[in-house]
Amino acid sequence: MSTAGIVKVLPFDAKLGYPQRQRFVWNRAAYDIIYEWNQTSEMAVAKVYRVSDGELLWISCIVQGWAGDVKDENSEILMTLWFERITTKVAEVWIF
């Protein structure tokens, strides 16, 4: 089953807080998202890795209400991330 066009919330365990790594599957490929909290800038940072080869595909500060496109090495958009709720305790990230 393809997940293209479906919106889902990426995993984040509020009990663990920052930093944490969560695995998810999108369009039959596995990815890891790593959430970190930058104490100096008081901002969350996210990194997305492709599990099959460990390639870092995307890294950015994440800000509530902002979106970012995760692209492959050919600049094709693999997914779009929407940062719905970002606080010092939780990261609610939607994928579509």
Q: What is the pLDDT of residues 30-75, one digit of tens each?
A: 999 999 999 999 999 999 999 999 999 999 999 999 999 999 999 9
How is residue 11 annotated by DSSP? P
Looking at the domain assignment, is residue 1 inside a domain?
no
pLDDT at 2: 41
What is the rounded distance in angstroms from the CA atom of residue 53 to the CA atom of residue 12? 23
- Considering the domain boundaries, does residue 2 fall inside one? no
DSSP letter (8 states) at residue 54: -
Tell me which residue of 29, 31, 74 sits closest to 50, measured CA to CA.
31
- The span from the CA of 72 to the CA of 92, in Å, is 23
- Its pTM stands at 0.88
Domain, as residue range, for 68:
8-95
The count of structural domains within the chain is 1
Return the number of other C-beta atoms located less than 10 Å from residue 34's C-beta. Answer: 16
Identify whether 71 is part of a domain.
yes
